[in-house]
Structure 1
Amino acid sequence: MVGWLWAVVALLWGLWSAVVWACQAALGALVAGAGQLPVGALAVPESWTRWLPQEVSESLTRAVEAAQPGLQVLVDGLPVLSGGFTVLAWGVWALGSALLLLAGAASHVGLRAWQRHQAATPRVTLVAS
């Protein structure tokens, strides 16, 4: 029974590792290519301007135009963060792995205690007379 418990913990650890690796790879790829985004081409979609009131549409257009320089600085700095995602992923992976190991150890101790309790309890059987 304990072997099955640790097999489940190992399976969960493998799934945890795969999820963290996939997320780190996806975020790293997205952020690494972020410097190529055309922030200057941002605009309020024309379909919005048709159904929004003119004042709201104009204020949205002005807000997008005002935000473009700040967004460009942010987008230009994103590729630098791609290395930070690796460090963050390792930290999250280590924390999750430690929690899985602790959960497995606690389950192991609990299972052993339950097995000892079951073995120590005398079995009462009814004998037909």
Structure 2
Amino acid sequence: MNNLFSIIQNSQNSFKWFVFIKNTKKNRLILNSLWSENLISGYLKKNSILKVFLKYYKKIPVIKKIKTFNKSNKSFFLNLKQIWKIKVNLSIPFFSTNKGLNSLNSCKKKKIGGKLLFIIF
């Protein structure tokens, strides 16, 4: 997961239009979530490689920074009540739930809590 995020973040900062990453189930789940939140333009599957198309807004990268929370000693589990208290301005938190990987807005719509995995700024 950290490798995927570092590749995307470094490619966005160097203004590349696309990047190649390894085709794994976890990477596809993360890319589907990023695409549903309009953070990437899309991706193509080619055998063992995924071609990810990065997104820019007025020549500024959409993804500026990604902070991960996947260390075993720093797990943040939030229930539905705690999720509703989260106020976000320019960031999108993503949670691992029993219904898959979801953003803050989709957790609120589905009325579920989960473990905080990463935040995109």
- The normalised TM-score by structure 2 is 0.20
**Structure with the largest fraction of helix:** 1
Name the structure where strand makes up a greater proportion of residues: 2
Relative contact order, higher structure (CA 8 A, sep 6+): 1
- Greater Rg over alpha carbons, structure: 1
